Amino acid sequence: MPHFIWSLLVAIIIAVLAIASQQYLSTVVSNFVSLLGYWTISFTLILLIEDKWFRRQEGYNLLKWDQPSKLPLGIAAVLALLTGYLAGGVTGMAQTLYIGPIAAKIGGFGGEVGSYLSAVFTAIVYPIARTIEKRKFGR
């Protein structure tokens, strides 16, 4: 199927959703941005740990950026991102439409601890998973 058809279909779907939810747009955007925060925290920690811990001695080989066989597989990053988001962010979130089980135990309306839990889970999982990935695959 040509790319312009996919683009057109997506544009139509987005337009229909925007028109249907125009009265609730502020709430939808606010909730979506909050959910992005959990992902952003995990992603940023993964980048920092990779840069400061795993790349501090060997650095970056700029000649290998376009050779997939020389790049990390990303298994550790995906595992840490999912763990941080699902085990930390979702269980600790206190949003309008959902309060996670850990957040529900804090206060009457739930305490927003998803960001902190997301950071903790990511910071624990990524170094361990990346070390295993480097030993097993050598990259």
User: What per-residue confidence (pLDDT) applies to 127?
Assistant: 97
Question: Could you tell me if residue 128 is inside a domain?
Answer: yes
Q: By residue range, what is the domain housing residue 85? A: 30-137
Evaluate whether residue 18 is within a structural domain.
no
Any domain includes 1:
no
pTM, two decimals, is 0.78
| 14 is a domain residue | no
Kindly state whether residue 2 falls inside one of the protein's structural domains: no
Is residue 11 one of the residues assigned to a domain? no
- Domain presence at residue 110: yes
Encode the chain (139 residues) as per-residue pLDDT tens digits.
788 898 999 999 989 888 887 887 777 777 778 778 889 999 999 999 999 999 988 888 888 889 989 889 999 999 999 999 999 999 999 887 788 999 999 988 888 899 999 999 999 999 999 999 999 998 8
Q: What is the largest CA-CA distance in the chain?
A: 55
The total domain count for the chain is 1
CA distances from 93 to 41, 68, 88, 116 (A): 14, 36, 8, 10
Question: What is the model's pLDDT at position 80?
Answer: 97
Q: Is 8 contained in some domain?
A: no
Beta bridge partners of 80: none
